[in-house]
Amino acid sequence: MSRPTRGSAKPLFAFNMLASACVAAWAQTTPATPTELQRVEITGTAQTYQPPPTSTSTKTDTPILLTPQSVQVVPRAVLNDQKALTLTDAVRNVAGVGTDFGFNGSAQPLLILRGFQTTSMTASGNMSGMSSYFVNGVKVMGVPLNMANVDSVEVVKGPASVLYGRSEPGGLVNVVPKALSAQPRLGLEQTIGQYGLSRTVVEGGGALNADKTLLGRASVSYDKGGSNRDFVVNKLAAFSGTLAWVPDADTRVALTVDHNAQKYRNDFGIPADGTRPANLPRTRQYNDSPDLSSITSDSVLLDAQTKIAPNWTLKGRVVSMRAKTREVDIWPYRENYGLGTETCDNSAGLTTLCRYYFYVRPDGRVKLDQATVDLIGEVQIAGLQHKLLVEVDHYSTKKTGDLYFTQVSSVDVLNPTLGNGPALDTSFPLPVDDHSKWTSLTLQDQIALGGGWHGVFALRHDRTEALYSLTPGIEPNKKSFTTPRVGVVWEFMPNQTLYAQYQDSIAANNGRNPADGSALEAERARQIEFGWKQVALDGKLNTTVAVFELVKRNRADFSLYPNVTTIGEARSRGLEVDAIGQVSPQLSLMASYTYLDAKVTHDPIYQGTRLANTARNSGSLWGRWMFDEAWAAGAGVFFQGQRQGDNANSFQLPGYGRVDAMASYAFKAGSGKGSVQFNLKNVFDKVYYSGSHPLVKDWIQPGAPRTASVTLRLDY
């Protein structure tokens, strides 16, 4: 551990002050004063840690307390205080969430929930462009995320495919964009930091007519992600605009247009040497592609809702997204495929890395279309109150563009000659057909059973077709699935509930084996979850404790790629604790703890191994203390125990604890408000590794060193 410099004394003092404040605040049984200290941002949301309402886990207006599933929300206040510039930064606050190795820059992370990746790598052959998350309930893959326009990040743990289809069993992450407001608002924000870090945001909106039935909002941002790593580039320019017609309280029609333009050179990290990450300079990485990779995406979302009867609401949504991709990174890999004159012989120990343009797609096209209709209503049947949901959904995605696989110059691991990466040879294209379609019908009934008991019963039927093939003329794999969800909640005393849920899951229709075109079995899963929830301090503090067992079947075997088979089974068991809220008028907290036992239970090769990137123990504690309406300080620790680095458990990532801190000052700025915020991430300059890829030993992601940033914000 590095010695703190003189410059770190103030953050350390703030952290000690925060720890003392935590002890004092938890000892209080009543607030010291009736007035909460709040700040207001451009959306008009009070800057407390109290989670905003969410309907993601049920698609109805159901409080989290009455939902039979662990659902956590990271509100905008936390994102602001921690200066969360990526989705990875946001979800590290939630129990059971980790990170995998990413392929498309920091704006497209690969996430892990309850031991399982949020992206199935069976359904597509090349691993690039596979980052998966939801935006406003729409699943996207390989699209950069503009965190400057995010209001909150929702994490629904465990299977969610009964409501969303196409989701891995560990859960889903849904990003909620900033909301419209009838009040006129203008916001300006500038962040600068070490290693070239910079983010500029201009946003504004309000009512566009006198009777406030026409609302608008627009934001423009430019992110330049800072990095201490050789050759790494992350740039994202984004625009988002929404126009809404709200004639009355029962009707709303909104049109949203988003544009994202990302340029990056991916960080492939460092290799393992023996059973640990290689001892290399913190700046070292081996991708020196002469060209930057890029993705430009444009999407249009039209959504509408209206009340068609006193207790019935009809909702509709149409989404269309188009993207152009250019994937031209050079991938370092110790195995020698013998496709060129370069060699990498590591028989006597790690000395060299071969490098490849590994199934890159320099001229790709991505299409995503979705249409959804929801009918939601409340009825009385046999003296019981029922909340009904009927949904019809059609989702399709297609990726086109020739692939290329070529071997290029190898490098010495310890003394590489870099900076002259060869250009991609496009002489030998590999045509590929990569598409998926899902047409689904969902029925859900939420019943108030009386005596504090509530039930949730849901059924979804999917008709799907999927194909990933390097062989022209192969027919898509067509499958149908019916999946159930059964849950019960008991509010045994005011603001405290016990819950239980069983749910099946369809992770993916895996299409066909790229090698011979044979149909692959779908990845299936099932989960049983029990938990306790409490809303305390007049609704300001939310706590969830969950225990679960999750089993995934038909896992992919890539050992003989491009021949892919779906075999084996993995089981994840664990305990999760999440807490967030306003403990006192001065103190806001967000805390998490996870105990996770995730291992392979049936597999001819990996029987008994632990799932990669899953620590037995992990957690976080972050708090903010407001001295008054102007001054605030915050600090927190994020820790993970030792993790297995790959599926074979051939190397390990050491455990670590990382400390972050912040301080801010709010002031009047003419007719508006302003703030200056200082953030210091990795206060003690800890050397750690955030994740690795489960299939290889050569892509270990080092954590960032101590990084300082300053943000100026003006709101009018």
pLDDT tens, residue by residue, 495-541 = 999 999 999 988 776 667 777 777 888 889 999 999 999 999 988 99
- Residues in Cβ contact with 248 at an 8 Å cutoff, skipping those fewer than 6 apart: none
- Separation CA 687–CA 649 (nearest Å): 22
Q: At residue 126, does pLDDT exceed 60?
A: no
- Separation CA 504–CA 576 (nearest Å): 20
What pLDDT is recorded for position 618? 97
- Of 29-33, 403-407, 477-481, 612-616, the one with minimum mean pLDDT is 29-33
Helix (H, G, I), strand (E, B) or coil at 73: strand
Instruction: Map out the domains of the chain with their CATH numbers.
Output: 6-715 (2.40.170.20)
Residue 295 CB-density burial (10 A; 0-12 exposed, 13-18 middle, 19+ buried)? buried
Q: What is the largest CA-CA distance in the chain?
A: 78
More confident residue, 668 or 555: 668
Helix (H, G, I), strand (E, B) or coil at 424: coil
CA neighbor of 152 nearest in space, from 94, 57, 89, 77: 77
Radius of gyration of the chain, Cα coordinates, nearest whole angstrom: 25
* Angle value at C-alpha 465, between 125 and 602, nearest 5 degrees: 60
Show the tokens assigned to 644: 């297995």
Peptide bond into 702 cis (omega under 30): no
**122 band by pLDDT with thresholds 50, 70 and 90:** low
* Sign for the pseudo-dihedral over CA of 646, 649, 651, 654: positive
Q: What is the mean pLDDT of residues 587-601?
A: 97
Cβ atoms of 411 and 419 closer than 8 Å? no
Q: What mean pLDDT value characterizes the chain? A: 89
Could you write out the DSSP letters of every residue in 335-401? S----SS-----TTSS-EEEEEEEEE-SSEEEEEEEEEEEEEEEEEETTEEEEEEEEEEEEEEEEE-
Instruction: Say which residue the tokens 């496709």 belong to.
Output: 339
- Separation CA 546–CA 85 (nearest Å): 29
Q: At residue 711, does pLDDT exceed 60?
A: yes
Alpha-carbon 125 to chain mean position: 22
What pLDDT is recorded for position 31? 33
Q: At residue 30, does pLDDT exceed 50?
A: no
Q: At residue 389, does pLDDT exceed 70?
A: yes
Q: At residue 579, does pLDDT exceed 50?
A: yes
Q: What is the mean pLDDT of residues 376-386?
A: 95
What pLDDT is recorded for position 558? 65
What pLDDT is recorded for position 15? 34
What pLDDT is recorded for position 317? 97
pLDDT in tens, 167-213: 789 999 999 999 999 999 999 999 999 999 999 999 999 999 999 99
Order of strands, sheet of 352-360, starting from the edge strand that comes earlier in the sequence: 331-333, 352-360, 404-412
Q: What share of the chain in percent tops pLDDT 70? A: 91
- Burial code of 175-190, b = ≥16 C-beta within 10 A, e = fewer? bbbbbbbeeebebbbe
Residue 10: its H or E element: helix 9-27
Residue 669: its H or E element: strand 656-669
**561 band by pLDDT with thresholds 50, 70 and 90:** low
Cβ atoms of 592 and 25 closer than 8 Å? no
Q: What is the mean pLDDT of residues 128-150?
A: 86
- Residues in Cβ contact with 197 at an 8 Å cutoff, skipping those fewer than 6 apart: 85, 191, 224, 225, 226, 707, 709
Q: What is the mean pLDDT of residues 667-682?
A: 96
